[in-house]
Structure 1
Amino acid sequence: MNKLKVAVIGCGAISRLRHIPEYAANPNVEIVAFCDPNIERAKQYAETYKGRAYSDYETMLKQEHPDAVSVCTPNSLHARTAIAVAEAGAHVLVEKPIASTEAEALAMIDAARAKGVYLMVAQNQRMMPEHVRAKELVDSGRLGKVLTFRTSFGYSGPENWSVEGNGTWFYSKDKAIMGVTADLGVHKADLIRWLLNDEVSEVASFVGTIHKGGTDLDDNAICILRMKGGAMGSLAASWTYYGEADNSTVLYCENGVMKVGTHPEDQIILEMRDGTVERYRADDIATNAGQQSSGIIDAFIDSILTQTPPPIPGEEGLRSLKVVLAAFESQTSGKIVRMT
């Protein structure tokens, strides 16, 4: 079987730590091109993993004709880049958030559909082993209905993650468009929708810049969500968790409590109403300091090879983006936003 020809557009931290090494580890993939406006970054990966370096993705698409492409650019470029990739006839894996606006996301979905290619969004929280196990437990019905929840994702800020350090594009409004709410909040919006098999119906939020200097992009968000099924809960996203990073979720259910990511060794703890406690161990939750395979790349490649729609299609990315956009709308209006 011929290997899929894959290209990576955007050679920053997420490509370096996840997309590129995970493609390289997949036996069905040949990485043919790396593209970044900073050509030296692209050349570095081309030398390490073979393939060719480009500074312009349109030239790359015309010359390489890849089968699939990862779009790992700043948020403002997601839509135009993904649409160009789809129109070139390649399958698209785009980093989260899918886009900066609902209109952009819809245009991406339409472009992929028109060309008969797949569009997948890298919402990797769904693929983490402890979250997969947690969903299995929720879906089993043992816990009964989820009544309330709290979910949080925070660390010390993108300057400690980005290859650009303090000059990271994450703090540039022109490039990032949105701050931590789109960076980390969208992950937890996606996770809670998926875990509960439910959609958000109402959002109330406080979103703002509390501590990060040199930017007017949001560095903290606290949101209250009501789900269509009736569950209510909180979602927190922060770039100012200066101690230990947090990526935890707690579900308070009819028959007990599920704690995910709250213990250093037991990734899932069930505290049942009958007094029994169950502990489950899976791979540690991936962090910036402790990288693990995201599962996203393998799922994307498997989708292409089996001609099966991807597990996190563009439509799912749009639904999670709309929660983020509602959070900003609530902050601006000072009102509860009802989702449509």
Structure 2
Amino acid sequence: MTKIKVAVIGCGAIAQRRHIPEYASNPNVELVAFADPVPGRAQEVAEQYGDIRAYTSYEELFAKEKVDAVSVCTPNYLHAPVAIAAANRGFHVLVEKPMATTVEESEQMIEAAKKNGVYLMVGHNQRLMPPHVKAKEIMDSGRLGKVLTFRTAFGHPGPESWSVDGRDSWFFNKEEAMMGAMGDLGVHKSDFIRYLLQDEVAEVAGFIGTIHKEGTEVDDNATCILRMKSGAVGTLVASWTQYQSGDNSTVLWCENGVMKIGTIEGNEVIVELNNETVETYKVGAMATNEKQVPSGVIDEFITSIISKTPPTISGEEGLKSLKVILAAFESQETGRIIKL
């Protein structure tokens, strides 16, 4: 079988720790080229992976290389222009989250992919984490009945410990990032809760601000209240100030019991039923910034290209998850509950 030729645009932390190593370990992939505007960065990363060409601009890479697919691992404000340019070249696109910074940009990306007959997938890896896969299976079985209330949260100490540029990272630059903890972590959870509940968010109230990270205009904390179309009500939390014991957990209180996901290390999924029975599932840990386990995103993307099956984590799905976050910002700005 011919290998899928892949280029990676943006060689920062997410590319170095997830995308590139996962492509390199996929037997159906040939890594062809990397691009990054920081002088020498693409070259430095390319040298670790053998015969790979390095560029300082994605435009030059697209003009010179014939590839089948690209990963867009750039700062948020470039997701749309790079993804659209790639689609217009006939390349399949995997874009990091948030897929874009506005609804309009997202719609243009979806349109470009459709027009050019290529796939657009968004890197919402939370759906593919082993505890979340198990939780989805349990939810879909119907044993817990209707979800009544929930909480879902994602927090860590912030990008300075994660980004290759530390405190100088684009994550803290409003023009490049547009949004902080909400774009980094909150959108993961809006995507996951939609997916897990098979339900859409109907209303959002957002309390979003910069509580502790000095010298930045982007948000470092958000607490949101969500009402789903089904009537279930819950909270979504995103934080860059969980300096000890970061969080990536979800709890669902349902008619027939409660499901706890990622609350206790070692027992990744716990189901406590109303009849007093307790089930625990050891299914493997969630990936964290410190402990990289395969995200599953790259393999899913490549499988969809090979099998000619549209990705389940599509541009349309990415847009629905982004709309929740944008509504939370609108709520913070206006002091109103925003209907979706």
TM-score bin, normalised by smaller chain: over 0.9
Q: 1 CA distance for matches of 2:206 and 2:296?
A: 31
**Are positions 1:168 and 2:136 aligned together?**
no
The one-letter code of the counterpart of 1:194 is Y
Cα drift, residue 205 of structure 1 = 1.1
Q: Which runs of structure 2 are paired with 1:165-314 in the superposition (5 Å)?
A: 165-314=166-315
Aligned to 2:47: 47
In the TM superposition, structure 1's runs of 4+ consecutive aligned residues that sit over 3 Å from their partners are none
Question: Which letter maps to 1:20?
Answer: I
**Do 1:102 and 1:322's aligned partners in 2 also have CA atoms closer than 8 Å?**
yes
The CA deviation at 1:245 is 1.0
Unaligned runs of 5+ in 1: none
Q: Give distance in 2, aligned partners of 1:97 and 1:66.
A: 24
Give yes or no for the alignment of 1:16 onto 2:16.
yes
Whole-angstrom CA distance in 2 between matches of 1:205 and 1:36: 35
Within 2, Cα distance between the matches of 1:338 and 1:204?
A: 9
Task: Give CA deviations for 1:291-328 in whole Å, capped at 9, x if unaligned.
Answer: 10000000000000010001100000000000000000
Partner of 2:319: 318
Look up the match of 1:37.
37
What's the counterpart of residue 65 of structure 2?
64
> Is 1:132 paired with 2:142?
no
Shift of 1:44: 1.4
Give the equivalent residue in structure 1 for 2:113. Answer: 112
Give the drift of 1:63. Answer: 1.1
Question: Does the CA-based 8 Å contact 1:178-1:218 persist in structure 2?
Answer: yes
The answer for the alignment partner of 1:122 in structure 2 is 123
> Is 1:39–1:53's contact at 8 Å kept on the other side of the alignment?
no
Distance 2:183 2:72 in 1: 16
Q: What SS does structure 1 have at the residue aligned with 2:71? A: strand
Deviations 1:175-205 (A, max 9, x none): 0011111110000000000000000000001
Q: Distance in 1 between matches of 2:243 and 2:83?
A: 34
Q: Name the counterpart of 2:28.
A: 28
CA distance in 2, matches of 1:264, 1:133: 15
* Alpha-carbon shift at residue 56 of structure 1 (Å): 1.0
User: How far does residue 39 in structure 1 lie from its aligned partner after superposition?
Assistant: 3.4
Deviations 1:258-314 (A, max 9, x none): 000000110000111000110001111111001100000000000000100011000
Taking the aligned partners of 2:89 and 2:136, their CA distance within structure 1 comes to 37
Give 1:62 shift: 1.6
Deviation at 1:61, TM superposition (A): 1.0
State the alpha-carbon separation in 1 of the partners of residues 211 and 329 from structure 2: 15
The 1-side partners of 2:4 and 2:273 are apart by: 47
Structure 2 gap ranges (5+) = none
CA distance in 2, matches of 1:59, 1:182: 28
Query: Offset at 1:43?
Result: 0.6
Corresponding letter in the other structure for 1:7: A
Residue type of the alignment partner of 1:162: S
**Contact (CA 8 Å) 1:219, 1:240: kept in 2 or not?**
yes
For residues 295 and 83 of structure 2, the distance between their equivalents in structure 1, rounded to whole angstroms, comes to 21
1:69 touches 1:85 (CA, 8 Å); kept in 2?
Answer: yes
**Count of residues paired in the alignment:** 339
For 2:232 and 2:303, how far apart are their aligned partners in 1? Answer: 34
| Offset, 1:129 | 0.7
> CA separation in 1, counterparts of 2:336 and 2:23?
44
Matches of 1:229 and 1:101 in 2, distance apart?
Answer: 26
Which whole-Å deviations, capped at 9, do the CAs of 1:117-142 have from their partners, x for residues lacking one? 00000000000011000000000000
Q: CA RMSD in A?
A: 0.6
1:82 alignment partner in structure 2: 83
Query: Identity percentage over the alignment?
Result: 63
- Offset, 1:2: 1.2
- d(CA) in 2 for partners of 1:205, 1:92: 31
Paired letter, 2:36: D
Q: What corresponds to 2:102 in structure 1?
A: 101
Q: Which amino acid aligns with 1:65?
A: K
Rounded to whole Å, the distance in 1 between the matches of 2:48 and 2:161 is: 24
Amino acid at match of 2:273: M
Paired amino acid for 1:325: L
Distance 1:248 1:284 in 2: 12
When normalised by structure 1's length, the TM-score is: 0.99
